[in-house]
Amino acid sequence: MRIESLEQFGAAVEAARQAHLAKGREIWVCCGTGCLANGSKAVAEAFDARIASEGLQASLGLYHKATGCHGFCERGPLVVIQPEGLLYAKVKVGDVPEILDKTVARGEVIPRLLYKDPTTKQAIAKYDDIPFYRHQTRVAMRNIGRVDPGDLDDALAHGAYAGLAKALSTMTPDQVIAEIEASGLRGRGGAGFATSRKWKACRKARGDRKFVLCNGDEGDPGAFKDRSIMEGDPHSVVEGMIIGAYAIGAHEGYLYVRDEYPLAVVNVGKALVAARERGLLGANILGSGFDFDLKVSRGGGAFVCGESSALMRSIEGRTGEPRAKYVHASDKGLFDLPTNLNNVETWADVGAIIAGGGAWFAGWGTQKSKGTKAFSLVGKVKNTGLIELPMGTTLRHIIYDIGGGILKDRPFKAVQTGGPSGGCLPADKLDLPVDYEILADNGSMMGSGGMIVMDDRTCMVDVAKYFLKFLSEESCGKCVPCREGLKQMLLIFDDLCTGKGKGGDIERIERLCKGMQLGSLCELGKSAANPVMSTLRYFRAEYEAHIDHKACPAGMCRDLTSYEIVEEPCTGCHQCVKVCPTEAIAGKAKQKHVIDPAKCISCGACFDVCPEDCIRFTARNGRKEAAHAHADH
């Protein structure tokens, strides 16, 4: 039923809330991408089938819904039982009858399915007591994991579109911009430009036809916050965009969604249809006289399309390549008309800011970086997943308190923030508060909010090479420094990692980095040198070891590493033999094993499984030495 006025909106929200409260108990099954990959769809279907076959909706007042990402992807599939707030982790289809019979029907907790804290080894029953969740503050992700992304009424019951109703009924466009200014909101895509300034510039721009765009082309390795927002709570993004369009004076918009995010494309599309049916989108929104409509534009599979000017070319149907931005998009953007582009997370924040007030949002954060920020925490950390925290939280708090520390309690080496355009920060930067300026001053950046944690078994030269490889594949190739520079840089890094580095390589790298930073056309090319510059800044000795001693101190570059089993602790447990892909390890049970250097490919699989920690690596190329020895005979 279409909502024709603000009064009707209030009534619809109240009805949705009552309907929600009337549900006695609810089971939330996470159907975010991580949990889906672990089989949560089958779990959700099993709940559906059993609730229907046993008539539990009538007898227990039990409802079930498939929600977006709960964030704790490491432990998926996740199931939350409300109103108790119980969290069951790694749930399988076979657990479904037991959960319904014991927990739902009789209120018994199933200890086996509870989350166990890796440090204290204690089982924690309640969602809100788990450190991973307890330390978080969610604004952009306020409803992810709580609402069914395909059910607009569920979203309304959880406060969706309240900010829009407030903006349309009580605020002028200038007041909306002033509220955003008071919140201190800055672009969550990474560059951190003040959102209110961007909106103001676009509002002032001449012309009747303007656009608002949403950048959902998140493509950094290890980043998935925008994906989870679009998949789990698309209405928050839609609401933000309508408010933004109202403030700017735009009546058309596009959601540019990465096509490799099929669930996001579907859920965003469904949200637009639902919002349009209910009069939240389209002509005369909520009877206010304001018209605005949105279309989904699917990305064409290029990382560079996340760059604003390339994104606009892509929506226009042209090749997604950046162009010079000496004239701002607020004057000449999409189709050369005034355009305002914001990131998914920025848009998701807007509705909450208008509803809660700018001062409320600005209550978190540092002097220049306000509010909360979503991060995807990945890499060698115990609790990988999606988190949202106040700005100014230290890296240590994120990695150790929320992330639960490094896997296998190995030493922390570095954290990569900001994706391929960001940088690596070493252990002595762990107490830095996360803030746009502080990260930039230390050679990294906020970027897309990806945080890749690395332990001592990570070679920083190899990490830089990984990002260079990614970027050289994703460079559009329009300008010389980025296209040719990345290609040449990668060739130098190939040499470094295979023991062919030579004196003067570091200077050549530095000169090339500078040329790319100054000479490239777009920010992708300008920042492509960042992973190299930051690893060189903090781990120069590791580069020098690769060049001067042909050694990889972390034991990761295969051509520079040999493995051997030391005498003493080896118990002959045979585990290394089982994982060795080339059958290079031999030895009788309960006797010391030996690695054949001629067969060993230095993959390190044995090192990772050895329970006695008796495998050592040395900075040598065992295969080459063995081959030479063979040739000599």
Partner 1 sequence: MPTLTIDGKTVHAEHGTFLLAACRKAGIDVPTLCEHPAVEPYGGCRLCVVDVTRPEWDGWCKMVVACLFPVEDGIVVHTRSQRVLDTRKVVLDLLLARCPETPLIRDLAATYGIATTSYVKNPVPTDCILCGLCTRVCDTMGMSAISSVDRGAGREIAPPFRGPPPACIGCLACAEICPTGFIKAESGLRKRRIWEKDFDMLRCPECGRSHITVAQADFFAGRGGVPRSYFETCDVCKRAALAATATRLGGPPATPAR
Which pair of structure tokens corresponds to residue 576? 């290394």
Residue 477 is a binding residue for partner 1 (CB under 8 A): yes
Bridge partner residues of 194 (DSSP):
186
Binder to partner 1 among 21, 120, 326, 567 (CB under 8 A)? 326
Of 402, 251, 271, 408, which is closest to residue 339 (Cα–Cα)?
A: 251
Which pair of structure tokens corresponds to residue 139? 């604004």
Q: Tell me how crowded residue 513 is: count the other CB atoms within 10 A of its CB.
A: 18
CB 435 to partner 1: min, Å: 23
CB 336 to partner 1: min, Å: 12
Distances, alpha carbon 211 to alpha carbons 77, 255, 340, 341, in Å: 39, 11, 6, 8
**Each residue of 349-358: b (16+ CB within 10 Å) or e?**
bbbbbbbbeb
* DSSP code, position 136: -
Binder to partner 1 among 515, 571, 572, 579 (CB under 8 A)? 515
Of 27, 6, 24, which is closest to residue 85 (Cα–Cα)?
A: 27
Residue 481 is a binding residue for partner 1 (CB under 8 A): yes
H-only helix segments in 78-212: 96-98, 105-106, 131-134, 152-157, 162-170, 173-183, 195-204
Residue 475 is a binding residue for partner 1 (CB under 8 A): yes
Binding segment (CB under 8 A) for partner 1, from list 200-208, 266-274, 486-494, 605-613:
486-494
Residue 472 is a binding residue for partner 1 (CB under 8 A): yes
Rank residues 159 and 320 by Cβ distance to partner 1 and give the closer one: 320
Enumerate residues 6+ apart whose C-beta is below 8 A from 559.
Answer: 497, 498, 499, 602, 621, 624
Rank residues 469 and 537 by Cβ distance to partner 1 and give the closer one: 469
Bridge partner residues of 417 (DSSP):
423, 451
Residue 308 is a binding residue for partner 1 (CB under 8 A): no
Angle among Cα 585, 588, 592 to the nearest 5 degrees reads 70
Residue 221 is a binding residue for partner 1 (CB under 8 A): no
Rank residues 508 and 549 by Cβ distance to partner 1 and give the closer one: 508
Q: What is Dmax (Cα atoms) for the chain?
A: 92
Rank residues 400 and 470 by Cβ distance to partner 1 and give the closer one: 470
Write out the binding residues for partner 1, residues 283-302 only, by CB under 8 A. Answer: 302
Binder to partner 1 among 502, 514, 578, 628 (CB under 8 A)? 514
Binding mask 127-166 for partner 1 (x = CB under 8 A): ----------------------------------------
Orientation angle between helical segments 234-248 and 195-204, nearest 10 degrees = 50
Residue 204 is a binding residue for partner 1 (CB under 8 A): no
Binding segment (CB under 8 A) for partner 1, from list 152-160, 509-517, 560-568, 577-585:
509-517
Residue 324 is a binding residue for partner 1 (CB under 8 A): yes
* DSSP code, position 94: G
Rank residues 150 and 485 by Cβ distance to partner 1 and give the closer one: 485
CB 549 to partner 1: min, Å: 23
Q: Which helix (H) or strand (E) holds 252?
A: strand 252-257
Asked if residue 390 has a cis previous peptide bond (ω within 30° of 0), the answer is no
Which pair of structure tokens corresponds to residue 74? 């490491």
Binder to partner 1 among 116, 204, 508, 574 (CB under 8 A)? 508
Residue 329 is a binding residue for partner 1 (CB under 8 A): no
Residue 528 is a binding residue for partner 1 (CB under 8 A): no
Rank residues 204 and 514 by Cβ distance to partner 1 and give the closer one: 514
| Residue numbers at the binding site for partner 1 (CB under 8 A) | 302, 304, 319, 323-324, 326-327, 472-481, 483-488, 491, 508, 511-512, 514-516, 518-521
